[in-house]
Amino acid sequence: MSGDRIAGRYQVLGALGQGAQGSVLLALDEQTQREVALKTLAEERVTPALAAVLRAEFEHLRSLDHPGLVRVLEFVVAEGRPYLVLERVGGEELTTWAARGDRVERALEIAEPLLRALSHLHRRGLCHLDVKPAHVLVAEGGQPVLLDLGLAARPGEVAEGGTPGYAAPEVLLGFPVDRRADLYGLGVTLLEACGSPLEALPQNARAFLERLLASDRNRRPSSAGEALAELSVARGVPSPAESDEGLLPIEGSLRGREAALAHLHEAEVALVTGLAGAGRSRLLREASLPAAREGALVLWVDFARGHLDDLGALAPLLTRFGVPLSGGDANVRRARILVEAGRRLLVAAEAQPLLVGR
């Protein structure tokens, strides 16, 4: 690859990274005499679907303009292969950088510009969804740059993937995402930069990271701006507030409904009623998250869309919960085993009163 010339302009100098689907090449832009990074697909991976993902990353990056977010130059297709042309980011990976000083101090220091970059991204209506140390390069002078918008999505969408160990639980479980997923990813990233378990951290760092790492997203800060305010308390230094202007409200925010949520967590069986659009599904989705994390079978059944076959299969259980139905198959066996093992089962019906049980 080295020595190749791409699109009549980019002279390949070497490799910067290797991903599951392709690679990132270091190249010299002969027109500007600057180094660039070319993100491309492996030859055998060049499919219209994967090329579209790279193209989407280009479109997302093009809408951003922040020193903490990698800058995109162009998108080219050369000899049938797509290339995302990025500004080459110098510097070292976050954990390497952190290890060259007081790790905890450095993690809290780098948190500020990273939160500002996330705030910019969120105000442009995007969630990164793959915040992890390998995606943060720290340039000389301490400016971190966040890379790889390959998984970015809009709030309310379901993530196309996520890195286990870094992605927020709601991302890995296929729940509609919002910006708080990035605060979780940042929490894991910073904790890794600290290089010690939460319990071993000084109280201020621990309290700050615990908030980011709450598996219930309603217990995380609600925006990067709010996290910045908490960071400034943790560091004991004033930091200019980050504007929340342009931030969409979190869809179906559960603020003010904490009591209802707590009740659902406690209840053996609960009936959730309300008008369509009142946020019943949202409430149940949140309520089911901890159960799903514990490995419970979470079933979503939509009466209105005629999922009666699935529902029929759950008849014996539903009868126990007072919903008479008939039918039976493998799903029931699975559900029965889980329930017998003392795990929770949640059944939700969209256009009807919603049912929760365990």
Ligand X SMILES: Nc1ncnc2c1ncn2[C@@H]1O[C@H](COP(=O)(O)OP(=O)(O)OP(=O)(O)O)[C@@H](O)[C@H]1O
Whether 142 and 172 have beta carbons less than 8 Å apart is answered as no
Distance CA 104, CA 327 (A): 57
Distance CA 87, CA 239 (A): 29
Q: 1-30 mask for ligand X (x: CB under 6 A)? A: ---------------xx-xxxx-x------
> 148 or 226: whose CB is closer to Mg ion?
148
Taking CB under 6 A as the criterion, the residue among 6, 25, 54, 89 binding ligand X is 89
Q: Does 155 engage in binding with ligand X (CB under 6 A)?
A: no
> 20 or 275: whose CB is closer to ligand X?
20
Whether 92 and 141 have beta carbons less than 8 Å apart is answered as no
Distance CA 88, CA 92 (A): 12
Among Mg ion, ligand X, none, what binds residue 16 when CB lies within 5 to 8 Å by partner kind? ligand X
- In the three-class reduction of DSSP (H, G, I as helix; E, B as strand; rest coil), residue 131 is classed as coil
Distance CA 179, CA 223 (A): 7
Q: 143-172 mask for Mg ion (x: CB under 5 A)? A: -----x------------------------
**Least distance from C-beta 193 to ligand X, angstroms?**
15
Q: Does 72 engage in binding with ligand X (CB under 6 A)?
A: no
- In the three-class reduction of DSSP (H, G, I as helix; E, B as strand; rest coil), residue 85 is classed as strand
The two tokens of residue 81 are 């292969």
Q: Does 37 engage in binding with ligand X (CB under 6 A)?
A: yes
Catalytic residue among 4, 29, 130, 182: 130
> 70 or 231: whose CB is closer to ligand X?
70
Residue 178 falls in the annotated catalytic set: no
The two tokens of residue 316 are 């014996």
Number of Cβ within 10 Å of residue 175's Cβ equals 19
> 21 or 239: whose CB is closer to Mg ion?
21
Q: Does 35 engage in binding with ligand X (CB under 6 A)?
A: no
As annotated, the active-site residues are 130
